[in-house]
Every structure is written in C-alpha cells, then in structure tokens.
Structure 1
C-alpha cells in the first residue's frame, strides 16, 4: 500500500513522500503535521522552518530504508520527534530528533548537517550518533565509547540525552521485532543499566518506569508474566478499595477546604519484582501495590494535608520522607508517607503541588529553558552539576568495563546528604564513607586523609555516613592513599583517584623493573640497551606492540605483558636469534615455570600459547560470560567475568585479552541461590530437575528462616550460560519457588 507524509502548515510547499510498504497502518504513525501542531500549541511564535527542512531532509536520505517491523524507517525519527514535542521541547530539539540517525544510517555527514541546519543542531545530532562505524576490539569497548561520547555531549547540551532517551523508548517499544532472544536481552540489560537510571537522575520518571518495565519483560519474561497475572488476579477488589480510600481522602480534605486531586495508581511491575527480591517477600506481602497521590495548589497546603492524614490514620514513622524541604538532586519534590489505612492495610501516599507534579513528570525538561534561545538559569544549572562531575570522574578511565561499571555507580539512585563543619551539603552515594566525603571536598584532601570526626566524634575511615551527619576530615601532609581503601569506598571519584595514585606508583616501579630486565636480556645478545632506548627503532618497536611511548613499552615489560625476549627479537637478525634460542631472561623463565604441556583449555590467551589458566573463584565464569584475564607472576593468567568486583579493583595494566575456546567442551562450576517455601520433598525435587537438565550437583547447603522460607545454595556444573539458563528456568517452574539466581562466591 502507499503511504503519504504531508505537511500543509509550513512557510513553503513541502512535497509528499511515498513509501511502498507491504503491511503498514497509517493510524500507527505520528504525522509531521501532528508534531507541528503540538509545537505551535506550546509556543505559537515558534520558528517552524527548521522542523520543516529537517523533516524533508530526513525523509529524503532515509527513503527506501525499512525497520524490522516492516515500517518505513522515517517512522522512527517521527516517533522520537513526537515524544520530544509532547515533552514541550523547542524546535531545535525536534529538528535534531528528526535527524538523529542520518549520520549513522545514511550518506549524510556532520559537515552537511552543520551547513544546512546550523552548529547547534549538528552538535546535538553528533552527540546522539553512536560509534558503530568505528573499529573496536570488543562490543564492550564500542558501547563504552558510545556512552562516553553521549555523556560528553550531554554535559554541553542536555538535549542530547533527552533525544537519546526518546530514541531508546521507541526502540524498546519495537524490540519485539528482533528475532534473536539474546539480542533482546542484551539491549534490555543495557537499557536497565544505563538509560533507566539516567532518566531517573534527570527526574523523568515516566520514561524510567516504561524503560524498566519493558526491559524486565524481555530479561525475565516468566517473572514478568507471573507478576502481571498476580496483579490482575484481584484487580476488581483492589479497584473498589482504591475508590474507598480516594473518597475518604477527598472527604477529609473538603472538611479543611483544601481543593485537591486524588489519584490511585498501581506500582510498576519491575518495582514490585525488585521489592520482592530485595526484601525476600512473597507477592501477598508487598503492601504498596497501590499508591495514592494528592495534588494541591500550594506548599503550605501540602503540609496541612499531611497533618490531616496523620490525624486520620496512624503513620509509620520510618516511612516518612520530606522531599519538599530537601528536594532530590533531580529537583523532585513531594511529601512521602505510609499510613495504616482502612481495614488495617498499609497505604503509601505522595503529596505535592501542581508545579511539583509537572517536574515529577517532565524532570529536567520542565526547567531547561531553551525557548527563544534563552540559556538555562544558574540555579537550575547547579542542580545538575552532577553531570559535569560524572564526566570528570571518567575522563582518565580507559578500560571499557571499568568505565561502564563506574557510570552505573554514578547513576545509582540512592543518596545520603551530609554536612561540612561550615554547613555546606554534600550529596554522596548511599553507603559512602569518610574517605568518599574527603574526595568529594577535593582530590588532595582525599589523598592526605588520615582520619575523620563524625558529629564531633572520631570515626573509622570506613564508617558509612548517614543523612544529617556532620563530617570533619583530618589530613596529614605527605600522606598517601591506601590500596585497602578500594575495599570500602563507594563513590566513583574516590575510587578513580585512589586507583590513579596507585597506578602512578606502580608504573614508576614497573618502569624500573622493566628497565632492569631489559638491560640483562639485551646484554646477553651483546646489544647496548641504553643506546637503543633513544633510537627510532625502539619507537617503532613500541608502536609494533601497540604502545604510544617507549616508556609505556618498558613499563609493560615490568608488568609482565611483554617479555624482554619479545623486545630483543625486534633488534636481532633471525640467524643470531636461533643461536641464542636457549638463552632466556629472568622473566621468560618465570613464565616458563607456569606453562604446562597439557590438553587445550577452555580459554585462549591472546599472544601467549600453552600458559597456565585459572578461573577466579570469586565469580566462576562459564562460556557465554564476557571475560577478561589478569597476569599473576608465577601463577599464569587468572580469568574473571568482566564485571567481577575483584577484577574491576585490579590493576588494569596487568589485564590481558582472553576469549573462550569454542573447540573445547567442558563443565564449569557455578553457584546458584534458590529461595523457596519450606515443604516436604522440595530438595529431592530440585535434585531431580537439575539432573534431568544435564547439570551435576557438586555441593548444596540449605538454611530455613523463621518465616519458613528456605535459602538453598547449590554449586552446579554446567557447559555454558545457555545451559545454566535452561536449568534455572526449569527450577523456576517448581511449586513454591520464589526466586532463582546465579550468585558470585
């Protein structure tokens, strides 16, 4: 069938574009004139010419491209632009949304976009563009660099991330058209790790909730369906209860002449699942499946309404939070309280003004004033200083896995608010310590920190700070960070600064060791190391090994990544090399001691053959996991999962690339936690199901809680992650099972 895009309301005639589509319904598309109508509704004086031209250009360069759904590709930028128009963003944002994929997916260039639409639109489009066209060794490196670029652009212009979030929303809505389940899960996990927390930090909760629920549906479809059916089961009864509570609240507010709107809403499925897991609750024990919201005109009315509710129903003290007096960093404001309502049921209630409700829905988009070219006001800019801090914390992190892990930590939603002795507030990650606080003040304060007073009393450096604490840091000139601090610090800034100092110290030691090892090796081949060190040949050797400087090359000899003999071979003829083949340096002998002549292992180490391989007991990787290796002198290479906390704390200079050997079929141990209701015969049934699915039980340990819930820890052997997922899926189907998950040691 034919489908036309037309724009009647513009300053010049826009041609219609026809697309041949086999099965496509026009009512599912957002038309460009709908977007323009929305812009005009929000801003009657908006300059529509930019949007018109962006639409025409996007339609032209995307012509002939089709999405997996069968829709013309242009449907995607139109949907993204429509989402931004609904968020009341300016014409530059909408134009950039229409163009956001043209550099990546068409012949368009940045220069062309800049010339046709100006530097502002070009900057935003370039920030949104992924780096899929650039070569990277791993998908993690590509993902890390893409997100790094996006965050850098976001620091200059927040509209980059708003477009990216809208882009991700539409991609998640159409994820069902991907055929590969693993691809769906990978995209969903990235969404859950990066984009949903970003939406939360920006205060755009409707995007956060939709991204979390959609990701949850693909990552764990069984659990999603289970919660969906449980929520639907007693829906009519719950709706009656909602009506009763709303009437009681309205009646109480009316007595005090408080004009308000009362809304009852269901908790999102992902939120219910997380609560069940974190608190080991059955669905029936999650009391706040339904939450209520009261919206009033003024701030004083909010506090008055709170007093009326606490007089009507008994409040639960520890559940009260005043986000009006102390707003969240993303400017979210509300009073949160939980009370014992009708029939003894717990009720969660949020109280806010209409303005606060607007911010809660739109987040930063409600404050970022770009209309008519006006920049954001200074006070709002300060609220989002964390974006710049996030960039600064990551600027020296080269390892892609460490970078992604740090970004996840920085986006962690829970915070504590602590005070300096002069009353300045510092917002830190939940669980942050006195050392984290010291680094939040200044890097040098953190490096020289030797103690801390919390509320006037001396406290250990690893003491976890609480909201309201007053912290005074004690420093000693000449003091240096300790590696042990990495075991308890929580903030990315503290961790990165400590690692940076340690790396500097270790590099100096490794250069010294590398120089000594090279001098010995070069002497054996009658080569003058000191002369060659300054030569062009040494620079070429460094480049051949993939290092920018000769210093980095020598340091990596000291680290153990390059052997002195490998370097010597760059400077001797092959005939001389054969004569000296039996002559090895100290480090070569060290490597040889850990090499074993044995059958092929399940892991291949890039650049080294026949070396001892060990698997980290902390994370127990299996084929299918993303892995990395670490050189350990005298013990070969230890293999960890890339997101293993121990691996992330190791010196990245000792990291070496490894990959699974697909030719080797073996069994690998994994630890699994099964949480279930206690009943007779459960353990026997678990053992039978595990055995039927081809896994072997190496060890099992069960503990029964007072609540009659049982925690069973299994050590199983499996072939790969696909085999493990099959076993876990079979266990979930057993009656009485509440949760099944793989765990680290």
Structure 2
C-alpha cells in the first residue's frame, strides 16, 4: 500500500521547493472522514485516494492537484461538503474536487442518464480546468487495477466497457498514452477474456520466435546510426494485446497476418537528426511509401509528434519504426500532463490552449442533448481522434475524423453550407456525397438554395456537428407533420364525445394535461399524439376524467385488432414504457436478443418495432418516434440469431461445429455452406438462443474449433 511519505518523496524529487503543508493537511482530513470505510479488496478506503495521488505525483503535477486527489471522494462518500473543502483548502482544490465528484447521489431515470450527466459535468469542468480529468483518469486507473475484487463478472464487464468507451479515449485525446494503454489492456481482459487469452498465448509464442529478429534489427539500426553520427536510443517493444486485437478485427486478419506486433523506436536529440535518421533507414531498407507519416511537421491535436515509417526489413518482413526527439518522447507518454506541471500552476500557455480547442468543441457539441444515449454516442465520436487533413479551395487546411465525407466538410465550413449541400468535387472531380475523404484532398462543395438534408445522410456522416444539425432539421419537419396529425386525431375523437378540443385548449384544460404528462407545451403534447406515443383517449381521460369509463370502451373499439393478446409482455418478452396492449414485433434488420441494448420505433397504427440500439437503421429514424423498451426479466424463450463462420475446409468440420452448438443448448434452425476453390468455407447458421450472452458463449466455443478462423454475428442469412 502507498504511504503518504512515498508521495511526498516523489514530489520533492521533481519540485524541491514545493509547499507540502497542503498535502499533509489533505491526507489528515481524508483519513479522518474516510475512517471506518473499507474497499472491496478489504483494504482501508484511504488506500484508494493515496494510490490516485501517487499516480498524479508520477505525472509531476502541482501540489493543488495532488491535494485534490487525496480529497476526490470526500464529497461523494462522506458528510463533507464543497464549502468545507473550500474553507480548509481554498477555492482551487474545492473546484477540482467538485468537478471530479460523480452525481450518483442524484435521482436519474436510469444508469445511462446518470453516466451521461456525470460525463457532461466532467467535460464542462475539463474545459475550465484540465486537472479535473487528470484526477478522474487516475481514479479510474486505480479502480481498474482493483477490478478483480468485484465478484460479479457482469459488473466487471460493464465497468471495463465504460472504460473502453470513455476513459481510454479521453486519455488518448490528452496524449497520456501510458494511462490509455494500461486502461485498454485491463478492460480488454474483462470485456473479452477469451480473445485476450488467445492473443496472450499467440504473443508469448511469438516472443520466443522473434527474440533473434529483434536483436538483428536493433543491431543493424545501431550500426547505421553510428555510421551517420546520429547518437540515439533504440527500443524494440511488443504492441499491446488490445491494439493487436483491434487490428485483427478492423482489417479482418488472423494473428499470423499482423506483421507489426513489434515496433521499434529511435530517440534522438534534435528534429534535423530525426529526418536524417529516416533517410538513413530508407537507404537500408525499402520504405512502404503510404505508411510514412510525418507527425513532427504535422502534429496530432494531442501534441503527439513523431515520424512513423514502415520498411521491408531483414527476411522480407515489415518493420514499423517511430523516430522522435527526447522531448517528443516525454510528451508522447505524458501528453497534457507534461504541460501542466508544478512549474506552470494554473496556467496553460496559448499554444497548448489552441491544441486543446477540441475540448471547447466537445462542450459546444453536447450542449443541446436531452437523450443520454445520443449524448454518450456523440461524446464517443468526438473522443476518437483518428484524423485526416483536407484543403479548402482557398488553401486552408481543415481537420476531420477518418471516414468523413463531403457533407461533414460542408457542415464544418458552415451550417447553411451543410444543409444546402447537393454535390461535391474532390481534387476537381465530382464525387458522391458519401465519398470518404483522404488526407491531402482538396474539397469544393456545390450548394443549392433552399435544399434541405436527407435522412440518408445520417448513415454516412462522421462528425457530431453534421449529425446533430441534420437530425435537428429532420426532427423539425417530422414534428410539424406529427403536430398536424395529432391535432386532427384529437379533434376527431373529442367531437365523437361531444367535446370541443380547441375550446379545452383555450380554457387551459389541455395545458394541465400537458403538465401532467411532463410536456413543456400543448404543442409538444399534440405532436406526441401524432408520433403515436400517446393516444387521443389518454388525453381525453386526463382532461375529462368523468368520461373515462366511456372512453375505455371507445378505445377498445378503435385499437387495431392485431394489438390484442400478441402485445402482452408475456408473449414477446418486451416491456414498452408507458404503453399497454400495443403490437410488438422484432426487426429483421438486426435480430435483437435478450441482453442486447434495445429501442422501440413507433409506427402509427402498426405498433412498436424492436431494434438493437446500434442498428444502422435506427440512425435514420426520427428520435421522436423512438420509445424506451426493455426485456422482461421474467420471460424465457428462444429467439433466432444468425452467425457466419469462416474456416479452412477439412473433413468432419461441419459435424464439429454442429456439436458445439447443440452442446451449448441451442437448436439449429437452418444452415448453409459456401466453399471457395481455395478451400475457404463459409458456414451460415440461424440458431435459436435465449440471450445474447448465450450467443457470445457459443461463438467463443466455435472460435476454438480447429480450422475456424472467424465467427461473426450477422443479419439473418436467407
């Protein structure tokens, strides 16, 4: 266990003049208010803030940050208040502690809403004082190191997934790669244990085979650098398990096809030496031209600088080499923390502030989201910074995420340009609007006055700004139509009951109904009737309760007959929030299973269709027609799921695959096989399973079958 003296010793090494009194006082206060509290590991709770403070001391942060780290949980977990912290330790420490404090004590409708609001608060605080997120990252890092003490695997997996989705990308965005790498490795172990163990075994096997090769490449590099009089350090390292896994998935490779599990790093004194070293390496081994990336001349937004080159090395194997100065190497590991040291206090210099303009953009892009799932999705998009650099016709360089399209570029220029975009030229040639831009492209947008965005754009745009603006315009159009429909439906039903809907609006009765249902205005209430989220009868019953009995009879008469017994949760396993007796059907585009995150889409008169939340078609849908749904915990039945298995053909393979499926208590609904001339076989199975966890277990078992190279969940194969 870390001791306070360890932290004080670390601070004294890099800042001999530091005023350690505030650290001592923070330690004593934290020990007093946390007294009696115990971690899941059985250690005193104080061990956690001590570990977090040590991580920040290792980052060489100022004493205010480290004092805040010792106090970061006191507002959330003890009777202490922000005012107490401010009185004892000053406004700076209190501001940081308040920014780090989670909102778990506040009432939220669900876990996603809590996570979204906590993250939103952290982003706002981060824009104001970057130290907030540095403590948050250190807090998460220690919690991940002790994740084994959580006894429930599903809890471990949920925390690990959140780490992969949010915290590791934030660490990468801030350039703190040692934190990012450790978070990813631990999270990978808990989210995909089978895949982790498989890659771990392959890497260990490869290490035995590669040791001589590493020595050979290192020796050749040393000789060449000496010959060129370029004093340097040369390091060879194995890539993380998680980055190897990501490459295997994204490029559809087997482990043996991942050529760059080893990367070499050459660290020199000056920038000219870096370019000289690259020239020397290219004179030794043939470079792969499209793999040369100059992040020294064109640094990444997180301040990362390095030259990357991949060459055909000894024995014809590809070798990845990174070339950088010692200062660049320090920043590559520490990122923003290297610029937020004890020497600079609360000041970030102008250049660093400009480099982190993305934080301000992150705040601006997230200001108007009410849906927590949409908010979290957009934060994730903003946090993955794999960028390209494109050029305007005037010669300005613009930064976009990899995979961005001319529509993203148009919205980056101006919202109006995006909305009226009808065509684009890339390097002088007309391209489709879904065309993926590449670094170096010159992009020109063609606009048409009065044009409005198409819902199809949502399937290919990559930036949050474009997606938000497109959805906003589509929602406005949809709301206008739904308002007209809702008003017509209400007026029609109220007339049948000899009531005047418009008069009830003027009298304020319908306004009271809107308040009861939680709508901001009568117009919102009417629009939701048009969307299908409320029935006119529900509005009537709230406005005129005495007509309720008669209304129920009328409601039964106008409901679709198909929405009878089939819609009960016992028949579908689905609970639809706020609606009873509604027809429920499952989409065929994504085949949701119990355990999958799901959402419902309302179609007027046709009930609710259930989709997986990450279904591509959900992106095209009006968010106003989406409704909260959940799996019924009491319901157990089998659902169809489709998988594709890629294999090298061998005798008895089909029988082995079928045996694995049946051993895991799943029935095979249908099967199809395609075998190519090269001996690669594709098996398509539709199987009946009770949950997504059962499906994952089956897929994991199938990956261990001899000659199976890939197992994927797919849309139902006809």
How many angstroms apart in 2 are the aligned matches of 1:54 and 1:674?
57
Please show how residues 399-478 of structure 1 align to structure 2 within 5 Å.
399-478=371-450
Are residue 101 (structure 1) and residue 73 (structure 2) matched?
yes
How many angstroms apart in 1 are the aligned matches of 2:364 and 2:381?
14
How many angstroms apart in 1 are the aligned matches of 2:599 and 2:339?
43
How many angstroms apart in 2 are the aligned matches of 1:65 and 1:739?
47
> Where does residue 564 of structure 2 map in the other structure?
596
How many angstroms apart in 2 are the aligned matches of 1:327 and 1:708?
46
Contact 2:647 2:710 in 1 (8 A): yes
TM-score calculated relative to the size of structure 2: 0.95
SS at 1:144 equivalent:
helix
How many angstroms apart in 2 are the aligned matches of 1:400 and 1:458?
38
How many angstroms apart in 2 are the aligned matches of 1:325 and 1:546?
54
CA drift at 1:520: 2.3
CA drift at 1:36: 1.9
- Could you report, residue by residue, the CA deviation over 1:57-92 in whole angstroms, capped at 9, with x for unpaired residues? 211111111111111111111111111111111122
> Where does residue 634 of structure 1 map in the other structure?
605
TM-score calculated relative to the size of structure 1: 0.92
How many angstroms apart in 2 are the aligned matches of 1:706 and 1:491?
42
SS at 2:424 equivalent:
strand
CA drift at 1:466: 1.0
Deviates more, 1:123-132 or 1:170-179: 123-132
Are residue 276 (structure 1) and residue 248 (structure 2) matched?
yes
> Where does residue 365 of structure 2 map in the other structure?
393
SS at 1:416 equivalent:
strand
> Where does residue 687 of structure 1 map in the other structure?
658
CA 1:704/1:200 → structure 2, altered by over 3 Å: closer, same or farther?
farther
Are residue 49 (structure 1) and residue 17 (structure 2) matched?
no
> Where does residue 687 of structure 2 map in the other structure?
716
User: Match for 2:46 among 51, 68, 74?
Assistant: 74
> Where does residue 615 of structure 2 map in the other structure?
644
Number of residues of Structure 1 aligned to a counterpart in Structure 2: 713
> Where does residue 3 of structure 1 map in the other structure?
none
CA drift at 1:374: 4.7
Are residue 37 (structure 1) and residue 19 (structure 2) matched?
no
How many angstroms apart in 2 are the aligned matches of 1:47 and 1:531?
72
User: Match for 2:336 among 347, 364, 383?
Assistant: 364
> Where does residue 462 of structure 2 map in the other structure?
490
User: Match for 1:725 among 672, 684, 696?
Assistant: 696
> Where does residue 630 of structure 2 map in the other structure?
659
Q: Which has the higher contact order (CA 8 A, sep 6+)?
A: 2
CA 1:120/1:374 → structure 2, altered by over 3 Å: closer, same or farther?
closer
Are residue 699 (structure 1) and residue 667 (structure 2) matched?
no
How many angstroms apart in 2 are the aligned matches of 1:241 and 1:664?
57
Contact 1:603 1:658 in 2 (8 A): yes
> Where does residue 742 of structure 1 map in the other structure?
713
Contact 2:459 2:619 in 1 (8 A): no
SS at 2:245 equivalent:
helix
Are residue 349 (structure 1) and residue 282 (structure 2) matched?
no
User: Match for 2:234 among 254, 262, 283?
Assistant: 262
Contact 2:330 2:338 in 1 (8 A): yes
> Where does residue 513 of structure 2 map in the other structure?
541
How many angstroms apart in 2 are the aligned matches of 1:573 and 1:541?
11
CA 1:548/1:340 → structure 2, altered by over 3 Å: closer, same or farther?
same
Are residue 566 (structure 1) and residue 538 (structure 2) matched?
yes
Contact 2:311 2:319 in 1 (8 A): yes
User: Match for 1:502 among 474, 478, 490?
Assistant: 474
SS at 1:569 equivalent:
helix
> Where does residue 668 of structure 1 map in the other structure?
639
How many angstroms apart in 1 are the aligned matches of 2:690 and 2:455?
36
CA drift at 1:474: 2.7
CA drift at 1:433: 0.8
SS at 1:600 equivalent:
helix
Please show how residues 78-227 of structure 1 align to structure 2 within 5 Å.
78-227=50-199
CA drift at 1:539: 3.2
How many angstroms apart in 1 are the aligned matches of 2:425 and 2:673?
42
CA drift at 1:723: 2.1
Deviates more, 1:725-734 or 1:462-471: 725-734
CA 1:41/1:404 → structure 2, altered by over 3 Å: closer, same or farther?
same
- Could you report, residue by residue, the CA deviation over 1:722-744 in whole angstroms, capped at 9, with x for unpaired residues? 32233223223322233334345
How many angstroms apart in 1 are the aligned matches of 2:67 and 2:130?
15
How many angstroms apart in 2 are the aligned matches of 1:407 and 1:300?
38
Contact 2:541 2:551 in 1 (8 A): no
How many angstroms apart in 1 are the aligned matches of 2:326 and 2:305?
11
CA 1:123/1:509 → structure 2, altered by over 3 Å: closer, same or farther?
farther
SS at 1:629 equivalent:
strand
CA drift at 1:708: 4.7
CA drift at 1:159: 1.4
CA drift at 1:536: 4.5
SS at 1:570 equivalent:
helix
> Where does residue 591 of structure 2 map in the other structure?
620
How many angstroms apart in 1 are the aligned matches of 2:49 and 2:357?
30
Contact 1:369 1:375 in 2 (8 A): no
How many angstroms apart in 2 are the aligned matches of 1:580 and 1:187?
48
Ranges in structure 1 where 5+ consecutive residues have no aligned partner: 1-28
Ranges in structure 2 where 5+ consecutive residues have no aligned partner: none
How many angstroms apart in 2 are the aligned matches of 1:64 and 1:708?
65
> Where does residue 261 of structure 2 map in the other structure?
289
Deviates more, 1:635-644 or 1:72-81: 635-644
CA drift at 1:435: 0.7
CA drift at 1:644: 2.4
User: Match for 1:479 among 421, 427, 451?
Assistant: 451
Contact 2:455 2:620 in 1 (8 A): no
